[in-house]
Amino acid sequence: MKVAIISREFPPLTHVGGIGTYAAAAAKLLADHGHEVHVICNGPITERHSVEGVQVHRVAMLNHHFPASRIYYPYRAWYRARLPHYLDAMTWARTAADYVGRNPDFNAFDVCEYPETMGEGALLTWNPESENRPRLVCRIHSGWTDDSGSNSQERRLLLSLQQKACERADILVSPSAYMAGHYTREILRVRKPVKISRNPAVLWNQPIDWTAKSAEHLLYVGRIEHRKGLQILLDALEIMGSESEGLTLRVVGEMHPSKRESDLRSMDQFRHCLETHASGKNGFRLEYAGPCGHADLYHHFDWAGISIIPSLMENYPYVALEAISRGCYILASDVGGLPEIVKSRERGELFEPENRAQLAGKIRECRGRWEGLSAGLRMTSESFQSEFGPEAGYRRMMEAYGASGLAERFPE
């Protein structure tokens, strides 16, 4: 098949989270199975090149989408300050739609997939009745329900973009039952059926180094921002007081500039804790490893005994999949799709979102029964890698695309 994936994020230039990870994993998996794959993504300049058999189309963003009429000119500064996320999302939606519209070759593709997170598919202009067009697959990946919730006007506009992206699709899929159900029906108000299709994962072939793992080694992987909940983990360790002595928390992730007050508070708290706990003399030891490319990330998972995901919101995070595959025990907040991953005590345990005391208790408990926990992690890792291995991931993608329904129109 010929498959186009429209994803603003694609490594290495714009990879900052799950969307980029998914786009890279899906593109590689399809290319490895002999399909022609094109990825349309954001880049500093418009260019096209090949990466491991995938045709990558880097597209420079168009100018920001301001109201055209001159009567609105005096309000442009307000528009930029009041609606920054929507402005960014609409601009990328226009950029992607414009690029696809200027390249008629995309009409001959079998499948065009896009996530609705930045409205990628909201402005695509294919005739829904035309036979000479791709099957449109919209992946419902994550929602604007954190800081944008304080700006009701912007939130309505963003949800409207997401709704349009969903409505234009022939098939809706999502990696988590939470997003396929509650988010799609109650928040997006989309009534189309949604298939649950777990994201493919690019796991590592290197054998796990089991010798370094310890209940004393705690790992946080993720951006340092409010919704990812690092501040909750730091508070939980502070609550433990002298009981946190001997523990080392390693933080791996970006600290992006932000204007959100909640993010700035989280960053300030993290910097303060780095100064206070760098030596480990005042309880736990805190170390910051900075950002890490995917190819080397497994070293951190192999070091860790317990991987902690204290997020305030999530969909079906890759960090949980990757941690379990490398033999980590998971402590995760009970949000989004995390309960669907941490579905047995062999994999990990859940705690109430933002409940610092409960998280502190879970850390204390895991530390006390580590010998029993660690004995089962090897078997859990092996079964998990099989569940999310390349063949299982490829089969799920073909089912999501409705490949059997494409067989008559596009024989292999």
Q: Residues 358-404: pLDDT tens digits?
A: 999 999 999 999 988 888 999 999 888 888 888 899 999 999 998 76
Q: How confident is the model at residue 148 (pLDDT cuts 50, 70, 90)?
A: very low
pLDDT at residue 14, as a whole number: 66
Least confident of 37-41, 144-148, 206-210, 383-387: 144-148
Exposed (0-12), middle (13-18) or buried (19+): which is 295, by Cβ within 10 Å?
Answer: exposed
Least confident of 147-151, 230-234, 292-296, 377-381: 147-151
Is 329 found in the same domain as 195? no
Identify the CA nearest to 324 among candidates 310, 305, 311, 337.
305
> Other CB atoms closer than 10 Å to residue 68's CB: what's the count?
8
Is 188 found in the same domain as 89? yes
How many angstroms separate the CA atoms of 380 and 363, rounded?
20
Helix (H, G, I), strand (E, B), or coil: what is residue 339? Answer: helix
pLDDT at residue 130, as a whole number: 67
How many angstroms separate the CA atoms of 217 and 395, rounded?
36
Contact of 410 with 110, CB cutoff 8 Å = yes
User: Residue 75 falls within a domain, yes or no?
Assistant: yes
pTM, full prediction: 0.87
Who's near 343: CB < 8 A, 6+ residues apart?
A: none
Is 138 found in the same domain as 231? no
Is 174 found in the same domain as 268? no
Is 239 found in the same domain as 142? no
Segment 399-410 shows an average pLDDT of 65
CATH of the domain at 325: 3.40.50.2000
Query: Cα angle at 377 between 375 and 382, to 5 degrees?
Result: 125
Domain that holds residue 226: 210-387
User: Residue 121 falls within a domain, yes or no?
Assistant: yes
Helix (H, G, I), strand (E, B), or coil: what is residue 329? Answer: strand
Is 228 found in the same domain as 107? no
Q: Considering its fold, how many domains does the chain have in total? A: 2
Is 147 found in the same domain as 42? yes
pLDDT, mean over the chain = 88
Is 135 found in the same domain as 261? no
The answer to whether the Cα torsion of 367, 369, 375, 381 is positive or negative is negative
User: Residue 411 falls within a domain, yes or no?
Assistant: no
| H/E segment holding residue 256 | none
pLDDT at residue 354, as a whole number: 95
Segment 100-126 shows an average pLDDT of 88
pLDDT at residue 260, as a whole number: 80
User: Residue 193 falls within a domain, yes or no?
Assistant: yes
Is 245 found in the same domain as 193? no
Who's near 107: CB < 8 A, 6+ residues apart?
A: 126, 132, 133, 134
pLDDT in tens, 23-49: 999 999 999 999 999 999 999 999 999
Identify the CA nearest to 141 among candidates 6, 331, 334.
6
pLDDT at residue 355, as a whole number: 97
pLDDT at residue 315, as a whole number: 86
